[in-house]
Structure 1
């Protein structure tokens, strides 16, 4: 019972001396034990030392333990990032993490299935409760949408129209998830589809739900792909490729793309080339993830593919994540006993911190259109 009380009892403002964390958070107009939705409610005083000392990991891990709460985590993180509070992180603290990214291939073939096992294989029933009806685990397109289902259908159709899909074409989906794109493209555009995934749960789901359509799914790493295709799409997978493999990915795409073929690359992106993955996200959510910068993507495609169009709708990911969070909260009682309170706090922190990051424009969502040669003639679709 004592630990439960700690999660709910606030440390009185008069019961502690002013801390360095007070000064840092004040730059983002965040108060410790304030009464606004984005203010931090402190339950354990020692957590402030851990947050200041360990930055992102300290902040996330103390939240997971219940050492502090914020009624509106999305607003909290939006303010943190808009005020550029990460600048307080000392560069030397990240020296090993930066060298590790540049010296080691954290996304090698040997490691390729790790993210599938740890993240995407949590359970299809869990993702069915959180996502839209097609289990589309990437940013929706909210231009003409009012619901999550409409936003995800709009995104899938946008991709199909950008690719100019026609009956008889063969579409490759690199990182096909639970099959939302291949299912939609096969049903509505009459194309034959091949998908690859590193998640056994996703592969089984596609076999079960799309067996009546011309769709083949392979449980494999993308680097083994060799078949020719008229069109290629990769939606929400390039974030797992890693900077040491960006060029390899583009070489595989070029190898598999027929003459006059097109590829759409849908990926989250970062603003700064020389930055690393948030350590909390890397440890608890997406192991070995590595968001690309626009420059890194351009370098990878150099002399292989031509960028015909670049579309940024990162602000739509804020809405998508908030919709996922709403579904997650509503369905949590079904999963509470299975996953436990620590998982609940971890997942809530993940969804709302990412929503705040997109709202602050700290990270982006891009759709790149590539062709196989130096020719224009692609009509922009929006």
Structure 2
């Protein structure tokens, strides 16, 4: 096993420095000696075998269980080092076979039924609600921020994201808006408060529903924003605008036709829809097995090639596509910093194992957006060709108008100059 681990290490690290310390004290080293002197330490002999046989799953499991420790830096430093070496990565043949099998199996997954969808949402979003307050912004935006400059705070970037989405939706006063996957209600409340919309939000999380309804009441928007514990497939109304942020990743590839069929059915003839989702820059690939098992069961991150055929089949028209590069990496970096600064509080709420799992989740996701081919796409949709202006100039003009409304209300953070 020693020689197998050395081979794995050599295949992964060409630049930088990484050592494996085995339980018997032996050290295996790889790299050119530059950078942080990072060391991974195994707590038992089985850990090395598990990592070699299934590194994509075992790396996160071993760290979560405390059987893999890091010295000389953090787990993010190790993941960043691996990211820097991706271009030279030469995975063992076993890893290629495993990846091919997972890709093939991914196409045969069961459909994401309403019951399964509720179970998957419950797994992630119905943990102790205090955890999310430790690392999210005050509006609890649990999706990619929009960093208009490197000076912006997380609060400003999340406000800019809502503004950017609202600008693309061109929401008129009094418009009816459907928010599919409304989370803790932040976007719905913004669209009502700033744009004057009548918003219907859908969630499958009882915890998120309680928080959303409370926030609407506190903001005195309860007559204009209504949240429901409801699957999107049960909709039977039409709206002026439809938006979905950070939910599409949970739909499942086999249900894309259904999803866009519902969007088209729910959108009035002159309506505008916007989809904001994590995507892949490098083509179709199965979900990382550790994320699938511990963080987002039933999720799938698509390439645009997987999404666009279902849009075309639905009869919707793609009127704009924007790719957000690195914005989510910066968002996750801010979340990770906040979470680690409140780690003791998180451990008191749940336990040390959860904290290690959550740190690995945030760190590996950030590395994925910096080095692993992940991005965020925003697709604007319509039923008619002339629904939105011919050029994109209206987006900046609308953002300026919305920013003035925010400033007049004095309830939103002012961006740094």
**TM-score of the aligned structures, taking structure 2 as reference length:** 0.82
- Quick check: 2:54–2:95 contact (8 Å CA) kept in 1? no
Residue of structure 2 equivalent to 1:111: 116
SS at match of 2:134: helix
Residue of structure 1 equivalent to 2:212: 206
SS at match of 1:139: coil
Alignment of 1:155-174 (within 5 A): 155-174=161-180
Quick one: structure 1 residues 29 and 107, their matched pair in 2 at CA, closer, same or farther if it must change by over 3 Å? farther
In structure 2, distance between residues paired with 1:107 and 1:177: 19
Long gaps (5+) in structure 2 = 21-28, 397-417
Quick one: structure 1 residues 189 and 329, their matched pair in 2 at CA, closer, same or farther if it must change by over 3 Å? same
Shift of 1:176: 0.6
Question: Which digits, 9 at most, give the CA deviation of each residue in 1:242-271, with x for residues without a partner?
Answer: 110111110000000001211111000013
Residue of structure 1 equivalent to 2:60: 60
Residue of structure 1 equivalent to 2:289: 279
Q: How many residues align?
A: 367
In structure 2, distance between residues paired with 1:377 and 1:182: 24
Shift of 1:94: 4.2
In structure 1, distance between residues paired with 2:13 and 2:101: 30
Q: Which moved more, 1:241-250 or 1:299-308?
A: 299-308
- Quick check: 2:147–2:160 contact (8 Å CA) kept in 1? yes
Question: Which digits, 9 at most, give the CA deviation of each residue in 1:323-344, with x for residues without a partner?
Answer: 1111111222122133111111
Question: Which digits, 9 at most, give the CA deviation of each residue in 1:173-211, with x for residues without a partner?
Answer: 100100010011111110000010111100011111102
In structure 2, distance between residues paired with 1:267 and 1:275: 16
SS at match of 1:301: helix
- Quick check: 2:60–2:290 contact (8 Å CA) kept in 1? yes
Shift of 1:106: 4.6
Q: Which moved more, 1:92-101 or 1:343-352?
A: 92-101
- Quick check: 1:140–1:151 contact (8 Å CA) kept in 2? yes
- Quick check: 1:265–1:367 contact (8 Å CA) kept in 2? yes
Q: Give yes or no for the alignment of 1:373 onto 2:374.
A: no
SS at match of 2:301: coil
In structure 2, distance between residues paired with 1:251 and 1:197: 19
- Quick check: 1:314–1:361 contact (8 Å CA) kept in 2? no
From 76, 79, 85, the counterpart of 1:83: 85
RMSD: 2.2
- Quick check: 1:37–1:72 contact (8 Å CA) kept in 2? no
**TM-score of the aligned structures, taking structure 1 as reference length:** 0.90
Shift of 1:54: 1.0
Quick one: structure 1 residues 351 and 38, their matched pair in 2 at CA, closer, same or farther if it must change by over 3 Å? farther
Question: Which digits, 9 at most, give the CA deviation of each residue in 1:315-366, with x for residues without a partner?
Answer: 0111100111111112221221331111111000000111111111521111
Residue of structure 1 equivalent to 2:11: 24
In structure 2, distance between residues paired with 1:237 and 1:379: 28
